[in-house]
Chains A and B, each alone.
Chain A
Amino acid sequence: MSRAMVIDDSKAIRLILTRTLCELGYEVSQAANGAEALRSLERGPAALEGYTLILVDWNMPEMNGLEFVKRIRANEKYSDVKLMMVTTETQPEQMIAALEAGANEYVMKPFTREIIEDKLRLLGALQ
C-alpha cells in the first residue's frame, strides 16, 4: 500500500483529506505543520520509504508549506515524492512560486473530493 502524508494546521481539513486518501487506497500520516512533518519524515533512515504523495497547506505555524516544499526538494532522496499544495492562497504569483519550488500540483481551497481525485489522476497518483 502506498503511503501519503497530509500536512495542514486545520484538524478538520486533515481529517477530510485523510479520509479521501484512505478511501483511495493510501495509508495516511498527518502533521500539523511543515516542521512537524519533516521531523516525522526524518525519524529514521527508512521513514520515508513508501511515501509517494504529500498534500501540504501553505499557511501554517512553525514552517509554512512553501518552505516545506523547498526543504523536501532540496533533498535528493525525496525527488520521486509527488507534492500537492492545498491552500487558500489563490494568486497566480503564489502558484508560480509553489511550482518553481517543486510542487507538482496546486489545489485552491475550497476543494471537493472530485477536485482532489482529478488532480491525483493528473499526477498519476490515483491508485
Chain B
Amino acid sequence: MATLVDNTAGPAKVEIHPDNYKFLQDYIYRESGIVIERDKHYLLEARLLPVAKKRELNSINDLCGLLRATAGPELKRQIVEAMTTHETLFFRDPGQFEALKKVVLPPLMDMRRTSKRITIWSAAASSGQESYSVAMMLLEMGLKDWNISITGTDLSEQILARAREGKFSQLEVNRGLPAPLLVKYFTRHGLDWQLKDEVRRMVNFRTFDLRKSMRTLGPFDIVLCRNVLIYFDQDTKKQILEEIRGTLQSGGYLLLGGAETTLCLADRFERIQAHGSVVYKVV
C-alpha cells in the first residue's frame, strides 16, 4: 500500500530562542568570519533548517542543542557550507567583464607578450561560474596558446567539487551566459550542460579561508573578490584587502562586487572607473 508523505509541510515554525541566535552568531563568526546581524532570523532559518532536517531535528533550537553537545567536524562543515554558499551566475555584472576585456587585459597582454603568462584568482569561486566566465572570455580574446592560470577558491569543498565537475543545469546556463558561448564551450549531457575540457583545464579549484594568511598564494595579475567582503566585519575586510594586495603583482588589478569598495579600508589601490564599473589598480 502506498503511503502519502507530505514533504511540503516540514517542521512547524519555531522561533529561534534569543540565546540560540547569539550562540549561532558567535559560532558562525568563529568558524567562517561571517557576520550575522541582529535581524537575520529568516537567513538562519532558510540556510540552517535544511541542515536540521537532515539530522531529523525539528528546529534550529534543536540544532543548537546538538551543536553545543557535539560539534563534530561533519556538522561544522555542513553549517559553514550552508551559510557560505551564495548565488552565482555566468558573467555576473557584465560591466566588470567589459572593463576586464577593454581596460585591464590589453596593457597586461602587451606587457606579457613574451612570457604569455597571466595569473588570475577568483577568491569566492562557489560553483565556478566566475572562474569559467573569465576562462571563456580569455579564449574569446584569442589567448588560446597563452599560459593562463586561473585559481578558484572557496571555503566550501562541497561547492568546489561541483565547480570542478563543470556540469551546470539548464537554469544555470540560461542565466548570464551568452548563447554563442554556450554552444561553443558546452556539450549537452542529459538535462545538464557539460563544460568542455578546453575551458575546465584552465582553472584549478582549492579550498581557502580568506581570513587566513595569503602568503602561499599568488602572485596574481588579477584578483576577483566579488560579493564576499559584504559578509565580513570592517576589521576582517581590512585584513583581507591587505592580504590580497600582497598577492598582486605590481600594477595588478582587484575587482570587487558592485556594493563593495576599498575606500576607508585599504590604500595603495587606484580606483579606476570603466564601463559603468570600478576596478582597483595596485599602486
Contact = CB atoms under 8 A, between A and B. Distances in A.
Interface of A: 90-92, 95-96, 98-99, 103, 105-108, 111-112, 114-115, 118, 121-122
A95 to B, nearest CB: 5
A45 B182 CA distance: 37
Contact of B174 (A92, A96, A99, A108): A108
A90 to B, nearest CB: 6
Interface of B: 89, 91, 94, 170-171, 174-176, 178-180, 182-183, 186-188
B183 A95 contact: yes
Contact of B175 (A91, A105, A115): A115
Contacts of B180: 99
A96 B187 CA distance: 12
B183 A108 contact: no
A99 B175 contact: no
Contacts of A90: 170, 188
25 contacts: A90-B170, A90-B188, A91-B188, A92-B182, A92-B183, A92-B186, A92-B187, A95-B183, A96-B183, A98-B179, A99-B179, A99-B183, A105-B179, A106-B179, A108-B170, A111-B174, A112-B171, A115-B171, A115-B174, A115-B175, A118-B176, A122-B91, A122-B94, A122-B176, A122-B178
Given A92-B188, A106-B182, 5 more contacts: A90-B188, A92-B182, A92-B183, A115-B175, A118-B89
A111 B187 CA distance: 20
A95 B174 contact: no
Contacts, number: 38
B140 to A, nearest CB: 13
Contacts of A91: 188
Given A92-B188, A107-B174, A108-B174, A121 B179 contact: no
Contacts of A114: 175
Nearest to A84: B179
A95 B173 CA distance: 13
B275 to A, nearest CB: 11
Nearest to A116: B174
Contacts of A121: 94
A7 B39 CA distance: 45
A118 to B, nearest CB: 5
Contacts of B94: 121-122
A34 B186 CA distance: 30
Contacts of A96: 183
B170 A95 contact: no
Nearest to B92: A118
A96 B183 CA distance: 7
Contacts of B188: 90-92
A108 B168 CA distance: 14
Nearest to B182: A95
B206 to A, nearest CB: 29
B129 to A, nearest CB: 12
Contacts of B176: 118, 122
Contacts of A103: 179
B86 to A, nearest CB: 15
Contacts of A112: 171
A98 B175 CA distance: 18
Contacts of B91: 122
Contacts of B175: 114-115, 118
A118 B180 CA distance: 15
A17 to B, nearest CB: 15
Contacts of B182: 92, 95, 106
Contacts of A107: 174
